[in-house]
Amino acid sequence: MIIKEIHNKFLEHLVKKGLLRERQIEEIKSIIKNSPEQSFRKLLVKGGFIDSEKLAQNEAEFYGYPYVNLSELQISAELIKLLPSTLAEKYSAVCFSQEGFKYKIALIDIEDFNARDAIDFWASSKNFTVQYYLCSYDSWKDAMRKYGSFGVEIESAINEAKDDKVDEVNDVSTDNIEQVIKNAPVSQIVSMIVKYGIESRASDIHIEPHRDSARVRYRIDGVLQTVLVLPIAIYDSIISRIKVLSQLKIDETRVPQDGRFKFKVSKTVSYDVRVSIMPLEGSEKATLRVLDSSKQALTLEQLGFSSEMQSVMMSALKESYGMILSTGPTGSGKSTSLFSLLSLLNKDGVNICTLEDPIEYYTAGINQAQIRPEVGFTFASGLRALMRQDPDIIMVGEIRDNETAEMAIHAALTGHLLFATLHTNDSIGAIPRLIDMKVEPFLIASTINLIIAQRLARRICSKCKEPYELPSEVANKVRQQLSSVDPTKIPIDISGRILGYRGKGCNNCKNTGYTGRVVLAEALPITKKLRMIISEGFKIKEVQQELAGLGMINLVQDGIIKALQGITTFEDVFRVSKEVDEQE
């Protein structure tokens, strides 16, 4: 797809405003060429080039229309429903105000003249005129929820399901599979649970049974929260519906099952949903992982890596062979960080191949393979096959077993730069983990170039952030944790009064005080001295002495520095700190 001339001019406008750099324009054009199906606005926002609201503000200025942030307005449900939901959904429009015989309508795409013709026709039929405003996709999505709240929609579907005696379909078998598939109320409930989860930025959806009811919980910004309680009478039908969508055996309730399905939110936008069904005593539990595979990998800076850590990583990327490991628990952003590094190496003259489970980011120029253990396609067998594909760079989604560890080490030794993730508590913990997997210490010492350990903390909402003075006990804890850090790396003087930051809660963050997450990390380059210590038996005392000499900022110290900068809260940093301490 060739970029439109008007979009070219708009990109130049963003450069003049200091919101884009010249070199980023070429990057955007390259992405558009390789991903013609992706919309211009979505590319700019999801590619991390510009914030959704800033994009809308600048589009409004560029096209000469007023801008409105719908998330900051108190719009009544009666007012918003003046515009029929069919028009609102089809043309991404919202009626947010009425003055006499004039409607104020916000559009995401002010260039969509079909939308304006349709809305003008609707308004003229009521003898009204229209004044158009430009809004962001995010604030439009927030406003659209007022067409019918999640709870009200679900309650309606539940009542309909009860009326249809869905509870009689508890003993689901292959004989009544068609009844489950065609049961509209249950299908509607499942669709609404997934749709609202996506709108709420949930990474995981948990659907769990209890004695007299069932609950739905979303993991948003790393924290689980209950959003819905369902009657137990329809629970088995909901689980059966999820199994049907995932092409799982609905009459198998004794063993765990894994599957996946695609969920469309519009004609052009769909999400991958990975499903895990776990048998419980007398019932089953479903966990759904929501993956937006259309997302572009974020930059290291956008993820939250400090400039010092970025320089350590860039040095490791200059090596032509060896291994770079990203460590941490499940859901700590390890794969995301590796893809940010891979995107820096993604050039025409480089053959990059990955083995993933699941594929979280589809990236043009990278050959990505999905692991399928059920047919014998494992990380180990895939790595063996990849070695015959003439790769320059390899990414292994996870080193899970001895065979994969051995294959990865040999790949790194034979002239390949290999990236992989590993489940360990901290960066240095990767060494004994590989030794436990029967990898010889001298091979580990020869291959590993860099180990990154990370966790995710919640970002403070920028719209409602406020400072406060830390209590003396917390301030003392901060000073103690940073006592070994070079004072030049600490953003403020911590000898006296110390300020922390928190979010008060607002419409933008749904009154949580947080929006999004930031990485807390440590980056350990493997020095000559460390290689010697590893190959000579990895004595803990020698390791600790070398780490102290390196002056490396550890994961908790990195979090405290980010809290002092107002990026995250001390509460979240100490929550992560507690997790680290408990795992040690």
Strands 102-107 and 129-134 come out as parallel
Angle between helices 235-245 and 184-199 (to 10 degrees): 70
**Got the DSSP string for 68-93?**
--GGGS---HHHHTTS-HHHHHHHTE
Q: What is the pLDDT of residue 28?
A: 82
Q: pLDDT by residue (tens digit) across 194-224?
A: 988 888 889 999 999 988 888 899 998 888 8
Q: pLDDT by residue (tens digit) across 367-402?
A: 999 998 889 999 999 999 999 999 999 999 999 999
CB atoms within 10 A of CB 80: 19
Each domain of the chain, given as residue ranges in start order, spans 5-143, 149-291, 300-583
Q: What is the pLDDT of residue 126?
A: 84
Strands (E), 135-269: 202-209, 213-220, 223-231, 257-264
Q: pLDDT by residue (tens digit) across 112-159?
A: 888 898 899 888 888 899 999 999 988 888 787 766 555 556 656 666
Q: State both tokens at 51.
A: 């914030």
Q: State both tokens at 224.
A: 């689980």
CATH architecture for the domain at 300-583: 3-Layer(aba) Sandwich (3.40)
Fold of 5-143: GMP Synthetase; Chain A, domain 3 (3.30.300)
In sequence order, the 6+-apart residues with CB closer than 8 A to the CB of 252 are: none
Q: State both tokens at 570.
A: 């001390």
Fold of 149-291: Beta-Lactamase (3.30.450)
Q: State both tokens at 264.
A: 């469309």
Average pLDDT over residues 480-494: 90
pLDDT at 330 over 80: yes
Mean of per-residue pLDDT scores for the chain: 85
Q: What is the pLDDT of residue 170?
A: 43
Classify residue 167 by burial, with Cβ atoms within 10 Å: 0-12, 13-18, 19+: middle
- Tell the residue number behind the tokens 């005392």, with chain if given: 541
